[in-house]
Amino acid sequence: MFAKILIANRGEIACRVIRTARRMGVRTVAVYSDADAGALHVEMADEAVHIGPSPVGESYLRGDKIVAAALATGAEAIHPGYGFLSENPDFVDQVTAAGLVFIGPSAASIRAMGLKDAAKRLMEKAGVPVVPGYHGEAQEIVLLASKAREIGYPVLIKARAGGGGKGMRRVEHPDDFSEALSGARREAKAAFGDDRVLVEKYVEKPRHIEVQVFGDIFGNVVHLYERDCSAQRRHQKVIEEAPAPGMTPALRKAMTEAAVKAAKAIDYSGAGTIEFIVDASQGLKADRFWFMEMNTRLQVEHPVTEMVTGTDLVEWQLRVASGEKLPKTQSEITLSGHAFEARIYAEDAAKGFLPATGTLHHLKFPDTAPEGASMRIETGVRTGDAISPFYDPMIAKLVVDGKNRQAALEALGIALSQTEIAGSTVNTAFLGALADDADFSAGDVDTGLIGRHQQALTAVPPPSSEIVAAAALAASGAGAQAPTRDPWSSLAGYAHFHPMARRTRLRYGQDDILALVSMRPDGRFQVALDAPYDSALDLRAAPRLARWPGHVTVFSGAVGYSFAVPDPLARADEIAAGADSLRAPMPGLVKLVRAAKGETVIKGQPLLILEAMKMEHTISATHDGTIAEIATEGAQVTDGTVLVRFAEEAHG
């Protein structure tokens, strides 16, 4: 076994690897960028090496710096985690050329599966079923459009390199093919440095089911059953589970055999995932699944497999990479119970899942697992850490298991309702709504479920009068107490026989709320609210809430209602651009400008494309008007930057 390894990654996966390595007595080296100097993975590791500025291209994607750090610290092997360089065969070559061990598959295996089109041709030769489509080298638009017509619409354009939904477009009609192709190519080029695509038949009711495989250098390959990752938004996974709901013995046998066959076809060693698309329009059948791609690394959702098989896949990675045989044979790997993983992100579900930034002023996960379940929290952040625009905005993975699917799902809902995060917009309310969705609860899930139910899943009910009153009470002592002190003591100085009242203002969204807070002789607090609440409430028990600079967040189930607390001494800046301008909803890069200064545009017309976290977001006109100013291509903008300003006469 290795004495010391370097982890070429950050965040929760780096912390995850460190925990297993520590249990096995293996020392760890972390690497970090400027933005991560105080990160949790840096604190947890035995050693840490700075590798560059915050942008990934200058730090976490610099294989030369990472290899140099490993050599300088005496590490014997490098664990890539997932993302970044984990599926880069050139990096594997760099590692091995330096005399180090890459904890993962060979460069040849990664290359064999790295390009979706070549991988599918290889799988066809190995007898693994693949989705009907065009996987050839020619990339002329005329040819691709012709192939799309042959396949039959709807079709799916997919980047041949990479994954995570980037460079992917669904096309319903031939007239939309050209624009969809251009968007997919731009996104693929930005994310993977390769704008080539493949075109496939779009399956009408697709289930995304994948099989965890593991191989060693002695030619042994096993599977650890399947995971269902069909709950997706924007082609990215949201809640994963194991095993797949509704799985039949016949389909499991066919799918796991195909997965093992695929791994053996490339002499695979290490952890890998064979992803399949399944047509669920007529139930799960053994002849209705097709190979999509192979992820030649550990997956984000690997904990659900660990939960239901009782394994530690990171330990397996270390053992296999150090030259040992697989820890278990196929007959020794059993399936027990059911597990869910919910990905908690800093994102605004109501705004199309736009990534968010901010400081995690309050971060609290459940202290114990719900009754009858077990739970683990995979995170790389702590209270006070910032969500940076430079990296994926994942905050944590909440993983639970139970004796069956229903028990595990109930445990997931309870755990989400006990999770408290303030300081950034997060998706816990959305996750809670999805866990409670009737179709999802029944196991009737496919990749289009979230899209079909998105309005209901992302709708947050307005705060009740009780929630507003609690926020007002907590805010009433904002000028006199620190955010960490008990907000319920802020009125302790009120006279019992001559009650004093304190006027408090809050803002929720666009609503200004005025409240009058007083303390009653019996120790209760009375909060009188103006319109639209028009109520007076008596409060005694403290609800779940968090005070943070300029804000109060009150938690109700999985929803966190955040109220701004205006500073009464600060002069409000009411010079808002309003409808006369469009501002950046998040930090990003102006990738493409589709209008010009002086041009007259109509409502809904796309004006520019903002790239943030390697995803493209179209900024469209909110009304008819004439453009007075527009951002330039290549401009790096921050949250709130004016992108488009309209001429004043637009509203005349």
Structure-token match 């093919």, residue found: 177
Cβ neighbours for 575, distance < 8 A, ≥ 6 positions apart: none
The H or E element spanning position 170 is strand 168-171
Concerning whether 297 is annotated as a catalytic residue, the answer is yes
Pick from 232, 243, 92: nearest CA to 163: 232
C-alpha separations of 435 from 48, 228, 351, 445 in Å = 39, 14, 20, 11
The H or E element spanning position 208 is strand 206-215
Which tokens go with 553? Answer: 């967040």
The H or E element spanning position 637 is strand 636-637
Contact present, 524 and 458 (Cβ < 8 Å) = no
Pick from 611, 587, 591, 614: nearest CA to 162: 614
Q: Give Cα 551 to chain centroid, integer Å.
A: 25
Cβ neighbours for 360, distance < 8 A, ≥ 6 positions apart: 381, 382, 383, 384, 385, 386, 387, 395, 421, 422, 423, 424
Strand partners, 590: 610
Contact present, 525 and 538 (Cβ < 8 Å) = yes
The H or E element spanning position 434 is helix 428-436
Pick from 144, 251, 283: nearest CA to 200: 144
Order of strands, sheet of 642-646, starting from the edge strand that comes earlier in the sequence: 581-583, 642-646, 625-630, 600-601
Q: With b meaning 16 or more CB within 10 Å and e meaning fewer, what string describes 551-583?
A: bbbbbbbbbbbbbbbeeeeeeeeeeeeeebebb
Contact present, 504 and 529 (Cβ < 8 Å) = no
- Compute the distance between CA of residue 177 and CA of residue 171 in angstroms, rounded to an integer: 6
The dihedrals phi and psi of 45, each to the nearest 5 degrees, come to -70, 160
DSSP-derived 3-state class of residue 349: helix
Structure-token match 């890459």, residue found: 102
Contact present, 346 and 353 (Cβ < 8 Å) = no
Sign of CA pseudo-dihedral 461, 466, 467, 471: positive
Sign of CA pseudo-dihedral 620, 623, 626, 631: negative
Strand partners, 592: 609
The dihedrals phi and psi of 486, each to the nearest 5 degrees, come to -65, 115
Widest CA span of the chain, in angstroms?
Answer: 88
The one catalytic residue among 288, 297, 547, 645: 297
Cβ neighbours for 556, distance < 8 A, ≥ 6 positions apart: 463, 464, 467, 543, 544
Please identify every residue annotated as catalytic. Answer: 297
